Amino acid sequence: MREQTFAVGSRTLTTSPVFDSYWRLAHERQHIFLSRTEGLPGPWTSDPILRDYRFTNAYRAADRVSQRLVRVAYEGPQDPEDLFFRVMIFRIFNRISTWEALERVSGSVSWQDFDFRAASRALHTLMGSNERVYSAAYIMPSPQFGADRKHDNHLLLLEWMMKHDFPGRIRQAESLQDVYLLLRTAPSLGPFLAFQMTIDLNYSSLLDFDENDFVVAGPGALSGIRKCFTDVDGFSAEDTIRWMVDTQWDHFDRLELPYRNLYGRDLKLIDCQNLFCETDKYARVKHPDIHGIGSRTKIKQHFSALVGETPVTPFFPPKWGLEIPALDAPSDSNENSRGPLPRVLHHQAA
């Protein structure tokens, strides 16, 4: 494949062969997600890279851990303090088994009656059993609050944010960027983590901003952009991500990809940002001669489907108004649908 150029006003974006792989990855990964959700038997793809290695879903909110976070946000009390506390403590550790260990401390995770010392002991016990406390998905720097253990410093970070009324100040935010800038003032939360947590909070009933209002490109996305484009003609990474959102259907149509979106929801800035990160990984195998930022040349995590896995109806923020198809009604995966699928199960909060 040769380079392609796309006019954007008076500027020109010049792409590499990885650019079309970005859209094929988005299409195929979404097809895999819908096929598994609908209970169709595997393998769900003929792409050997997607079959053999682990990739996140095209939509961030559809990933397994994010799915649990959304449920955590809506299944507990909805007052700002408790909601902020649950979302933040979940995403800081970003590991379902860690959340479940914290739940076992008192039966539920609540700001009003959270026992920080008991939580510290529970996490220390996990570590003593050779269990990981943190997910490998994010690098979580330890805030400097004087504790010996990293997880204790993060518990102290949460206490610090609550004492500085982050929930109340976030409720007064006028934009996603305002939320992001507030989170950036918290010790150890850099640009990438602060943005990811901003999106997490926006899933909840605490906020209701459009995900297309604001984006921050993480390190993986920057590398993916470098691989997809040979020249961005002065566009920032964030402007490039926004162009991907604005032109997504042009590319699915151009490549004749029968893309089905997320029950009527198109890709948003956070999703296209994440897809650049996943494309960076995908290209290590598909396009090994095209280099991004950094020296990684292999994909670490291999994929293996759970034997006899049972389809689970996904759960998304009710405010999105999505309609989820009934699990007993598989749809035609070759149909290009830009709206809800015919047979639906109305989305209800738990």
Domain boundary among 204, 238, 272: 204
Q: Are residues 87 and 171 in the same domain?
A: yes
Q: Are residues 12 and 117 in the same domain?
A: no
**Residue 349 is assigned to a structural domain of this protein:** no
At residue 129's C-alpha, the angle toward residues 123 and 132, to 5°, is: 60
Give the per-residue pLDDT at 305: 63
Place of tokens 């997320």: 262
Q: Are residues 126 and 26 in the same domain?
A: no
Q: Are residues 142 and 193 in the same domain?
A: yes
How many domains does the chain divide into?
2
Could you read off the pLDDT of 63-75 as tens digits, one per residue?
999 999 999 999 9
Could you read off the pLDDT of 178-191 as tens digits, one per residue?
999 999 999 999 99
Distance in angstroms (rounded) separating the CA atoms of residues 155 and 159: 6
Q: Are residues 88 and 131 in the same domain?
A: yes
Domain boundary among 204, 233, 266: 204
Give the per-residue pLDDT at 16: 98
Q: Are residues 187 and 290 in the same domain?
A: no
Q: Is-above-0.75 flag for pTM?
A: yes
**Residue 211 is assigned to a structural domain of this protein:** no
Q: Are residues 110 and 182 in the same domain?
A: yes
Q: Are residues 141 and 197 in the same domain?
A: yes
pLDDT band at 328 (very low <50, low <70, confident <90, very high): low
Could you read off the pLDDT of 199-225 as tens digits, one per residue?
999 999 999 999 999 999 999 999 999
Q: Is 256 left (phi over 0), alpha (psi -120 to 50) or beta?
A: left
Q: Are residues 31 and 113 in the same domain?
A: no
Strand partners, 324: 345
**Residue 55 is assigned to a structural domain of this protein:** yes
Residue span of the structural domain in which 110 resides: 79-204
Mean pLDDT to the nearest integer, 286-302: 88
Give the per-residue pLDDT at 327: 66
Q: Are residues 48 and 121 in the same domain?
A: no
**Residue 315 is assigned to a structural domain of this protein:** no
Could you read off the pLDDT of 239-274 as tens digits, one per residue?
999 999 999 999 999 999 999 999 999 999 999 999
**Contact assessment for residue 156 and residue 120, using Cβ atoms and an 8 Å cutoff:** no
**Residue 212 is assigned to a structural domain of this protein:** no
